[in-house]
Structure 1
Amino acid sequence: MTTRNLRKRVQRRDVDGRSYEKFDTSGMEDLNEPLLGNRENDDMPSHQQTLEDIWDDDRKKQHLHWTSLFTQLIAQWAHWLANIVHGSGVLIGRLLPFTSPSENGEMKKFLRRQPSLSPLQEERLKILQQRLHVPFDGSRAEHQDALKQLWRLSYPDTKLPALKSELWKQMGWQGSDPSTDFRGGGFISLENLIFFAMTYRDSFQNLLHKKDGNRAEWEYPFAVAGINISFMLVQMLDLQSGKPSSLAGFRFLELLGEDEMAFDHLFCIAFKMMDAQWLAKRATYMEFNDVLKSTRTQLERELSLEDTASVRDLPAFNLLKNTIE
């Protein structure tokens, strides 16, 4: 099945002088990308995966991968010891290269430095973790107001629609009710989008309206992609734990010590990185999950660089435009 068959532009309508496209999304029922999931008032099959399910599957795959590597390592050690016992004096095989020398050096530094968090880092991490535990609730007035604020920032010259309207789809929500798309992202993902729209207006508008590069016929939906990026960052930085245990997570805490809004800035950077990879790979909707994984890998590399004292020191920060200090 080609992307041309999966998504077709069927008509164009005008909204307050602006045009938007309505898409035929037939054929989407079998997709299992993280952008998809069960929605209320929907006929999606009951076996459809949610964001949490997908990341649970990834964790299971990682567990199996490392279990396999550990088994191979034990086998190699047993072979090595057997050669010593038999007096061969020859080491057969080499231990698996889990990390490169540079990565190994960085990890040793990380392990030496990990235990110490400043009171400021601990305080800001606690505040961030509190934000992570706030689910989006479409019945709360402040959450409704936040959605309205995002619309006004996105389309300042367009009349605000009702909270349930087909017009929300043009922002990249999957249905007429944006509240059904948050799931694993939580309220912080909406805060991330608002922060992006307020802080880096040009970059936000370019992504929202897909102004950069040669776009795919079947593009990723902007708003739901943002929710996926927030979710990916939380997983990558291990923020649900009491204290991050990864090099990327620990490096992030250093950035958080310099800037209390480091997570929100990192969200904006990750979104631009994702879109840049999307264009470079000439990806389509079906490949969004792969693009998101590549974005995570690239961001982890940048966070591992030395002399990174703030978010602005990350190379990918230069992708952002119209910075408000």
Structure 2
Amino acid sequence: MTSQTLRRRLHHGDIDGGRYDRFEASGIDSLNEPLLGSRDQDLNGHGFGDVLDDERNKERMHWTRVFSNLIAQWAQWFANFITGSGSVVGWLLPFVSGSQNGANNHLPPLLLSPLQEARLKHLKQRLAVPFDGSFSEHQDALRQLWRLAYPDRRLPSLKSELWKEMGWQGSDPSTDFRGGGFISLENLIFFAKMYPEAFQNLLHKRDGDRSEWEYPFAVAGINISFMLVQMLDLQSGKPRTLAGQHFLELLGEDEMAFDNLFCVAFKMLDVQWLVKRASYMEFNDVLKSTRAQLERELALEDVESVRDLPAYNLLKR
């Protein structure tokens, strides 16, 4: 089993690098060389198959615990959102537990136009829809995403190891949405439809010199969606952060401003990933800097639509 093999397995796990330090040390310390030699016997006389089974069992137990915790955290967040508490408890990513700019939380709410009110209400309705793998509409959306991502490949069943290639944590992508939301999947589909070249470049990691440990594409997209929800303060009645209030102005110009902003944020994250020469364990840091850069661009005076953001030009490359 080579380091490349291990790298592929780890692509689809917890995106929180901070949790990564609990992975088996033997795997981390030997990534620059094969984990085992070419022979089928280790020093203790155990067969290669036995050792591999042990490693797989340890890995499976580790990621089961990790993702059980994440699912519970997302469920708590979503329960708070739906009940209108306005608080975010147990957010998925550690870095978003505090405001990037605390003073922004105390801005008075904006007076919205009827159009802004209607579009904000519609967006909140989308945010309130959890993903449900038993719904045919949601199943069809997953299939649509696959067809957009891999137009020349056969559509797999909804439970297949092939989904891992897109960056889902396991063979059943629906498990990544528990406590999350259907809007994350809608964001990915929108990206694939509206900016197919940029989408394909990110999916296949075509740009730049990539890390040995890359971030998983699909799970990263889910994290970006929910980073935007908090950054824009969409869990509140009316956004009271500076970024959120600027976003309302964009929403008045573009009904799909959130989806377009998702595409910009995803491309911006990948560019920063390459500039920083980041690897898997640094994903949170890159996402933090992506959020900060996005907040700065939203605050520019001449930005009246998502297409006015300087980073929007990245989607054209």
Instruction: State whether TM-score is above 0.5.
Output: yes
| 1:186 corresponding residue in structure 2 | 181
- Which of 189, 193, 204 is 2:199 aligned to? 204
The answer for the alignment partner of 1:23 in structure 2 is: 9
Q: Which amino acid aligns with 1:224?
A: V
- The question of 1:271 aligning with 2:276 is answered no
Name 1:304's counterpart in structure 2. Answer: 299
**Equivalent residue of 1:260, what SS?**
coil
Report how far residue 45 of structure 1 moved. 2.5
SS at match of 1:129: helix
Which residue of the partner structure matches residue 221 of structure 1? 216
Q: Distance in 2 between matches of 1:119 and 1:209?
A: 42
After superposition, the Cα gap between the structure-2 partners of 1:311 and 1:60, relative to the gap in structure 1 and judged at 3 Å, is closer
1:122 to 99, 109, 117: 117
Cα displacement (A) at 1:115:
3.0
Q: CA deviation at 1:176?
A: 0.2
Alpha-carbon displacement from aligned partner over 1:136-174 (angstroms, at most 9, x marks no partner):
000100000000000000000000000000000000001
Distance 1:190 1:59, change over 3 A: closer
CA contact (8 A) 2:11 2:215 kept: no
Count of residue pairs brought into register by the alignment: 259
Would you say the 8 A contact 2:12–2:168 is kept in 1? no
State how far apart, in whole Å, the 2-side matches of 1:186 and 1:129 are.
Answer: 11
The structure having more radius of gyration, on CA atoms, is: 1
* Paired amino acid for 1:154: A
Equivalent of residue 229 in structure 2, options 226, 234, 247? 234
Partners of 1:207 and 1:252 in 2: CA distance: 25
In 1, Cα distance between the equivalents of 2:159 and 2:280?
A: 25
| CA distance in structure 1 between the partners assigned to 2:91 and 2:107 by the alignment | 30
Q: Does 1:293 align with 2:288?
A: yes
Give unmatched runs, 5+ long, in structure 2: 21-59, 75-89
In the alignment, the residues of structure 2 paired with residue 313 and residue 26 of structure 1 have an alpha-carbon distance, to the nearest angstrom, of: 34
Letter in 1 for 2:222: I
Provide Cα deviations, 1:214-247, integer angstroms capped at 9, x if missing partner.
0001100000000000010001001011100011
Q: CA RMSD in A?
A: 3.2
Q: 1:26/1:237 Cα in 2 relative to 1: closer, same or farther (>3 Å)?
A: closer
The letter of the residue matching 1:257 is G
- Letter paired with 1:23: R
Q: Indicate the structure with greater strand content.
A: 1
- Say yes or no: does 1:45 pair with 2:69: no
Secondary structure, counterpart of 1:293 in structure 2: helix
Provide the residue aligned with 1:84 in structure 2: none
Structure having greater relative contact order (Cα 8 Å, sep ≥ 6)? 2
2:4 matched residue in structure 1: 9
Q: CA deviation at 1:62?
A: 5.3
* Structure 2 CA distance for partners of 1:317 and 1:248, relative to 1, 3 Å: same
CA separation in 2, counterparts of 1:194 and 1:314? Answer: 22
1:253 aligned residue (225, 233, 248): 248
Distance change in 2, residues 1:167/1:311 (3 Å): same
Give the letter aligned to residue 45 of structure 1. R
Distance 1:157 1:25, change over 3 A: closer
CA 1:33/1:293 → structure 2, altered by over 3 Å: closer, same or farther? farther
Unaligned runs of 5+ in 1: 12-20, 35-41, 67-97, 99-106
Residues 1:222 and 1:58: Cα distance change in structure 2 (over 3 Å):
closer
Provide the identity percentage.
Answer: 67
Deviations 1:246-279 (A, max 9, x none): 1100000000000000000000000000000100
Report the 3-state secondary structure (helix = DSSP H, G, I; strand = E; otherwise coil) of the residue aligned with 1:274: helix
2:163 is equivalent to residue 168 of structure 1: yes
How many angstroms apart in 2 are the aligned matches of 1:137 and 1:26?
A: 21
Give the residue type in structure 2 aligned to 1:212: D
Q: What's the TM-score, normalizing by structure 2?
A: 0.74
Give the 4+ runs in structure 1 shifted more than 6 A.
Answer: 24-30
